[in-house]
Amino acid sequence: MDYKREFIFAIVGMLAVAIGTAGTAQIIKPTLDNVFVAKDATMLSIIPFFLIVIFSIKGVGQYIQTYYMSYIGLDVVRKLRDDLVTHLTYQDIAFFNNMHSGEILSRITNDITRIQNVVTTIIPNFIRESLTIVALTIYVIYESPKLALYFLVIMPLAILPLSRLAKKMKKYSKLSQESTSTMISRLGEIFSNIEVIKSNSTQTIESNKFSQENYSVFKYLIKQVKVNALTTPIMEILGSIAIGVVIYIGGTEVIEDRMSVGSFFSFSAALFMLYNPIKRVSKLYNKAQDAVIANYRMHQLLNMKPKVVSGDIVLNNRIERVVFRNVYLNYEDKRVIDGVSIDIKRGDSIALVGDSGAGKTSFVNLLVRFYDADMGVISINGVNIKELTLSSLHKEIAFVTQRVHIFNDTVANNIAYGQEVDRKRVVEALKKAYALEFIEKYENGIDTILNESGNNLSGGQRQRIALARALYKNPSLLILDEATSALDNKSELLIQRALESIRDKIITVTVAHRLSTIEDADRILVFKNGKIICSDTHQNLLNSCNEYRKLAKL
């Protein structure tokens, strides 16, 4: 274990607390018998000193234990969070499409906090209180085995109702964690859709929906409180019975001179001291149920395996050739790529057109391996794409979509994303993407911080940033999926021209709705229901392809 040293310290601390607590009970006996009854002056000067020593041992032990256990707990959680984030970023794109981002955030924050609670407080308290119970019990038996017997027979009776409460607790923990997740998901939804909500004035509808989720969180939490709150009174009533019995029998022993007053009070003090740790242990047990569920949910995530995994052949060269051989792709049951075959070589500029939902985005998603083909083979330079390492493949591809992703960082770091920043090349890329003109207007130029939602940029400006990022990468396969849709006609034309200079050295795959954008592509693929129904140049397609003529007319 990584935490051997910390753990040993913590255990030593816990032992000190347990021994100190038993010592506190023990010291009552000489105080009463030797000082008050026998009036012994030497003991009078020794006992206060011992008292201070005992409490110091307990205090130092408490400090050491708290510090080292918290250290372990916080560090375990830090590592867990690191692992989880790394693990999640490798999950399939389908996972992110299916799982609400709010749900993911909730798992990472809320569930982890619950687990943190276990390691930093529940486990150490549990161990410490248990050790204290053991120490006090040993002391009680040593002091008066007969009295201890009565007490130790009654206490286990408490376990029955308490274990039933723990079971209930587990159920409500699960429900409350699930409803918290749903609530956080809803929150995420509200704020990411805030434009729609405000422009439709649907705040009431949304807050009512939220209110329902919020209420069910409340409902389960309050049920947890109820179960938890029952623990104390049950323990107290049982405890009072036990102590009542002890007073009666112990009193008789003292009256009949079989036990000294000091022994009786030491014994009773130990019993009273037992009460708190026993109560805490049973509460901790309930709380632990909460963490068991959180831990389960966490491991559900950690055990999830992505379907799309890296191969181990490193793609060392530029992409020279991309071949699709009879490729099929389904989303769940829906067929979206239906037997596509195509051969693309360096220097080709390919354009994809077709109705909405025809499968164009799905086609390009296969090239970046957001998905893997269900049947058929895609090969890059003659190697099956699945056998290539993802990182070497992605180094050669620049992928620009309609949705522009901007990091909360400088313009330069956004452009050189994932690579060394070469300021000269950043400026060059910005110039080619016609982005330099507005970046230059910022006081800090390419050192200006962009915010992650890109709100300080217009839609067209954001697209130009994305194009600059793609150009900076110097890819051998450039994919543009409606990457210029937010640009005005003039900027689009200018960018087309900028791309022309690199077009014959690389493969470009462009998806566009505006046919003007792709008229001079080497080959235009017309998609319909996941199939390529025509494939030729603009002029030839106008003559030969009905579907293309229809698109051209629009």
**Cα 284 from Cα 431, distance rounded (Å):** 63
Residue 336's binding partner among ligand DUT, Mg ion, none (Cβ under 5 to 8 angstroms by kind) is ligand DUT
Pairing status of strand 523-528 against strand 349-354? parallel
361: contact with ligand DUT by CB under 6 A: yes
Residue with tokens 């107290």: 236
Residue 279's binding partner among ligand DUT, Mg ion, none (Cβ under 5 to 8 angstroms by kind) is none
Residue with tokens 């209180």: 129
Residue with smaller CB distance to ligand DUT, 354 or 454? 354
Q: In this chain, which stretch among 75-83, 353-361, 434-442, 502-510 interacts with ligand DUT, using CB under 6 A?
A: 353-361
Residue with smaller CB distance to ligand DUT, 16 or 358? 358
Helix (H) or strand (E) holding 342: strand 334-345
Q: Are 507 and 345 in contact (CB under 8 A)?
A: yes
Residues 6+ apart with CB under 8 A from 339: 326, 327, 328, 376, 531
DSSP 467-502: HHHHHHT--SEEEEESTTTTS-HHHHHHHHHHHHHH
Which residue pairs, CB below 8 angstroms and at least 24 apart, start in 146-153?
146/249, 146/253, 147/246, 147/249, 147/250, 147/253, 147/267, 150/242, 150/245, 150/246, 150/249, 151/242, 151/245, 151/246, 151/271
491: contact with Mg ion by CB under 5 A: no
Q: Shortest distance, CB of residue 540 to ligand DUT, whole angstroms?
A: 22
Q: In this chain, which stretch among 68-76, 282-290, 330-338, 386-394 interacts with ligand DUT, using CB under 6 A?
A: 330-338
231: contact with Mg ion by CB under 5 A: no
Residue 356's binding partner among ligand DUT, Mg ion, none (Cβ under 5 to 8 angstroms by kind) is ligand DUT
Residue with smaller CB distance to ligand DUT, 97 or 501? 97
Residue 145's binding partner among Mg ion, ligand DUT, none (Cβ under 5 to 8 angstroms by kind) is none
125: contact with Mg ion by CB under 5 A: no
Residue with smaller CB distance to Mg ion, 315 or 509? 509
With b for 16 or more beta-carbon neighbours within 10 A and e for fewer, the 229-266 pattern comes to ebbeeebeebbeebbeebeebbeebeeeeebeebbbbb
244: contact with ligand DUT by CB under 6 A: no
Q: In this chain, which stretch among 91-99, 283-291, 360-368, 516-524 interacts with Mg ion, using CB under 5 A?
A: 360-368
518: contact with ligand DUT by CB under 6 A: no
331: contact with ligand DUT by CB under 6 A: yes
Q: In this chain, which stretch among 5-13, 45-53, 358-366, 453-461 interacts with ligand DUT, using CB under 6 A?
A: 358-366
Strand ranges across the sheet with 383-384: 334-345, 321-331, 375-380, 383-384
501: contact with ligand DUT by CB under 6 A: no
Looking at 132, 361, 414, 508, which residue binds Mg ion (CB under 5 A)? Answer: 361
334: contact with ligand DUT by CB under 6 A: yes
Burial of 443 (0-12, 13-18, 19+ CB in 10 A): exposed
Could you tell me the two tokens for 19?
A: 């021994």
Residue 24's binding partner among Mg ion, ligand DUT, none (Cβ under 5 to 8 angstroms by kind) is none
Q: Shortest distance, CB of residue 357 to ligand DUT, whole angstroms?
A: 4
Q: In this chain, which stretch among 43-51, 360-368, 409-417, 495-503 interacts with ligand DUT, using CB under 6 A?
A: 360-368
Could you tell me the two tokens for 386?
A: 């699945």
Within 88-127, which residues bind ligand DUT (CB under 6 A)? 97
- Which spans of this chain sit near Mg ion (rule: CB under 5 A)? 361
Give contact residues for ligand DUT (rule: CB under 6 A): 97, 331, 334, 336, 354, 356-362
